[in-house]
Structure 1
Amino acid sequence: MARNKLGDLQNHLFEQLERLNDENLTGEQLETELKRAKAVSSVASQIIANGHLVLKAVQLKDNAISADVQVPKMLEAGDD
């Protein structure tokens, strides 16, 4: 299973931008690339939103007055 990082996402987004900037793309090729760009953008937005949610969960736990605050397992930021 791939273990991608946000830096990898950034690279993918720039690669997509470069493909969109290809002046040799015309007609059907351009339309296909535009559809791909929309899909990449949609997935990237979800990855970023998920990262933001994990960050908020970590901040909540770190800022909690009680040490007994439990963050749901699915929101933990872990290396597994």
Structure 2
Amino acid sequence: MKNKLIDLNNHLFAQIERLSDETVKGEELKEEMARSKAVAQIASQIVANGRLALDAQKLTPELPMGRRMPQMLENTNG
């Protein structure tokens, strides 16, 4: 996998820095705020997806013998 959660963290902090730039005003600020909203929505989905994968990993040992996690939830990273 190319991107990691630390990359998401870095993007979020970079977005905060852009919003904190006091030289950004007017239309440019409105555009940056819209971009921040989109980034935050995508970040929330990434975090929710990670939480689902972690929950699935925690449940794996509890599966009855011979049962497997649905393929989309399996840990393919070893």
Structure 2: runs of 5+ lacking an equivalent: none
Ranges of 4+ aligned residues in structure 1 off by more than 4 Å: none
**Structure 1 residues 28-72: Cα deviation after superposition (integer angstroms, max 9, x where no partner):** 01000000000000000000000000001111112x063433101
Percent identity between matched residues is 49
Q: CA deviation at 1:76?
A: 1.4
Within-5 A mapping of 1:41-56: 41-56=40-55
- How far apart, CA to CA, are the structure 2 residues paired with 1:30 and 1:5? 28
The TM-score, its normalising length taken from structure 2, stands at 0.91
Which amino acid in structure 2 is aligned with residue 3 of structure 1? K
- Mean CA deviation greater in 21-30 or 65-74: 65-74
Aligned length: 78
TM-score, normalization: structure 1? 0.89
